[in-house]
Amino acid sequence: MGEERMKKSVKVLLLVLAVLLALTGVGLFAVTRLDARAKQEHAALSGAVEARMNWISGTRVALTENGAEIGSYTLEDLGLSQSAQAAATNGLSQIDLLPEAEFEALGIAERLSWHAGASAEALDAPLDLTQLDTAKPEADANAIERQAPQDAHVAFEDGKFTLEEAASGNTLMPDAVRHTIELALTGVVNAGQQPETITAELTDVDCYEAPEVTTENTSFDIEQSFKDELHGFLLTVDFAKAAPQLSFDEPVQKLTQTQAEALVSLEKDGSVTVDEDGVRALVDAWADTYDIPYTKYLFDSEVDGYVPIQFLDVSYRVDREALTEQLVERLRTLDAGELTPEIVCLRNDEPFDIKDTYIEVDITNQKMTFYKDGDLVVSTDIVTGLPDGHPTITGLYYTYYKTTDIWLDGPDYHVFVKYWVSITDLYGLHDASWRSKFGSDYYLYAGSHGCVNTPEEAMKTIYDNVTDGIPILSYHHEKPVPEEPETAGETQTILE
């Protein structure tokens, strides 16, 4: 009897143990499922946060103007990254933001505790535009060459007054870039979507500075503009500057506002017309004063400046037609200031001048100068012909022949020269190896037989550069009398 009771107690105990073991298995299974769900939910939260962070780092704003890109900028460039990151993680705990590996490394109790209290989620958040910094895009936009707005105005160009309408240009208003980017980003929400490029087009806002003066708010009077342009008109005609070698009692003429008003008029279409007959009459009156008939040619010598050449008879005349055309054009365009007329030197009624390319033989100063195309080639001392026996010829000649290594023969000479340039058949320019002195008054007692004796080095340079047809002006002249310096007494008188 006692033995059966013991067996029955053992059975009950075993049954209890079996029930307890069954209940323990069920609990472990439930815990494992809860832990797996915690990991899954944390992974989903981490993915949502990461997607929002990727959108913040990868999204760009492209600033364009009339469709052309000025620059592309990250949210960090625009000062929006930090606030956007804060918004994406707003309300999330440290455990919420743990990377997956670190979350799984937590104890199961911590994970289950997190899961039991978890209710956080990654929020969709708009950008905080109060943090917007547009310094970079503004610098890029303003680096473009821009045209300022043009006010409406009366323009005068090429002899015609016209009313020019206002034009806006493309100068940006001070806040145009900020307003454009604010407009493009307004309503943009970070919901963890793929990074994107958001276009901000400047012309979507009123971005350009406007002209202040328009035909709508201002009236214009072209007739008054014509009078204003004429006011104070003064055109100076400088005859002395045209011919500095000539002397005039009154070197300058002036065309005043009063004279100009009598010679110009305004047409209905805004064009300025000029009384050409009136201008021609004015020019004729001036030319009658400044024309110099039958005088000696004034040559710009190397040593003494302008000197009269006694064997060259010329006239100096104002080019009336050219001056008339100049004045008509200056009046038509109301162009005041200074005007230099043209004074022409005439010989045998043909234009004449010795300049740019020529050889000057200055017997008085025993100097020879060679210019070619306005550049000085040679300036050298020489020895010309003995005045009492074999004077060097004077006149205007032209080079026509040159040669080297020839003998020159005469009644009392037989000499070899390396370089020869003809003045005439009998006279020329040549080197003179037998001489050691050139210039000064040496020619007065040891002059040549009429040729122009020249140092060999200078003669070689002349020979190398001379061509046929170059003028040779051989002359002598009276030396100009130097001005005497003022004495102290004269200076004091002038000052007083």
**Strand pairing report for 358-362 and 367-372:** antiparallel
Q: Range(s) for CATH 3.10.20.800 in the chain?
A: 222-350
At 23 the pLDDT is 40
* Cα 463 to Cα 418: distance, rounded to the nearest angstrom: 10
pLDDT per residue over 360-393, tens digit each?
Answer: 999 999 999 999 999 999 999 999 999 998 999 9
The string of DSSP codes covering 332-385 is: HTT--EEE---EEEEETTEE----SSEEEEETTTTEEEEEETTEEEEEEE-B-B
* Cα 484 to Cα 487: distance, rounded to the nearest angstrom: 9
Q: Range(s) for CATH 2.40.440.10 in the chain?
A: 358-475
| Average pLDDT value over all residues in the chain | 91
Residue 459: helix, strand or coil by DSSP?
helix
The highest-level CATH class for domain 358-475 is: mainly beta
How far is the CA of 312 from the CAs of 251, 256, 345, 392, in angstroms?
Answer: 25, 39, 11, 17
pLDDT per residue over 178-198, tens digit each?
Answer: 999 999 999 999 988 999 999
Question: Residue 117, exposed/middle/buried by CB under 10 A (0-12, 13-18, 19+)?
Answer: exposed
Task: For the chain, report the end-to-end CA distance as a whole number of angstroms.
Answer: 168
Q: pLDDT at residue 453 above 50?
A: yes
Q: What does the block give as tokens for 248?
A: 């005039």
Q: How many CB atoms lie within 10 A of CB 254?
A: 9
Element (H, E) at 200: strand 197-201
pLDDT per residue over 79-116, tens digit each?
Answer: 999 999 999 888 888 888 888 888 888 888 888 888 88
DSSP code at position 450: S
Q: What does the block give as tokens for 112?
A: 């289950």
* Cα 223 to Cα 244: distance, rounded to the nearest angstrom: 41
| Alpha-carbon dihedral 164, 169, 174, 178, rounded to 10 degrees | 140
At 196 the pLDDT is 95
Q: Under CATH, what is the fold of the domain 222-350?
A: Ubiquitin-like (UB roll) (3.10.20)
For the ranges 19-33, 115-129, 251-265, the lowest mean pLDDT is seen at 19-33
Top-confidence residue, 273 or 93: 273
Question: Residue 28, exposed/middle/buried by CB under 10 A (0-12, 13-18, 19+)?
Answer: exposed
DSSP code at position 167: B
Q: pLDDT at residue 431 above 90?
A: yes
| Cα four-point dihedral sign 454, 457, 461, 463 | positive
At 103 the pLDDT is 87
How far is the CA of 390 from the CAs of 59, 348, 426, 436, 452, in angstroms?
Answer: 101, 31, 12, 20, 11
Residue 426: helix, strand or coil by DSSP?
coil
Q: pLDDT at residue 47 above 90?
A: no
At a CB cut-off of 8 Å and minimum separation 6, what does 441 contact?
366
Q: Global pTM?
A: 0.66
DSSP code at position 133: -
Q: What does the block give as tokens for 127?
A: 């950008």
Quickly tell me which residue has 């020869």 as its tokens.
Answer: 420
Question: Residue 159, exposed/middle/buried by CB under 10 A (0-12, 13-18, 19+)?
Answer: middle
CB 328 within 8 A of CB 274: yes
At 295 the pLDDT is 96
CB 430 within 8 A of CB 407: no
The string of DSSP codes covering 245-311 is: TS--SS-EEEEEHHHHHHHEEE-TTSBEEE-HHHHHHHHHHHHHHH-EEEEEEEEEETTTEEEEEEE
How far is the CA of 65 from the CAs of 143, 177, 180, 202, 206, in angstroms?
Answer: 13, 10, 10, 5, 12
DSSP code at position 480: P
What are the E-state strand segments in 26-98? 60-65, 68-74
Confidence band for 22, pLDDT divided at 50, 70 and 90: very low
Q: Residue 242 region, left (φ>0) first, then alpha (ψ -120 to 50), else beta? A: alpha
Q: pLDDT at residue 409 above 70?
A: yes
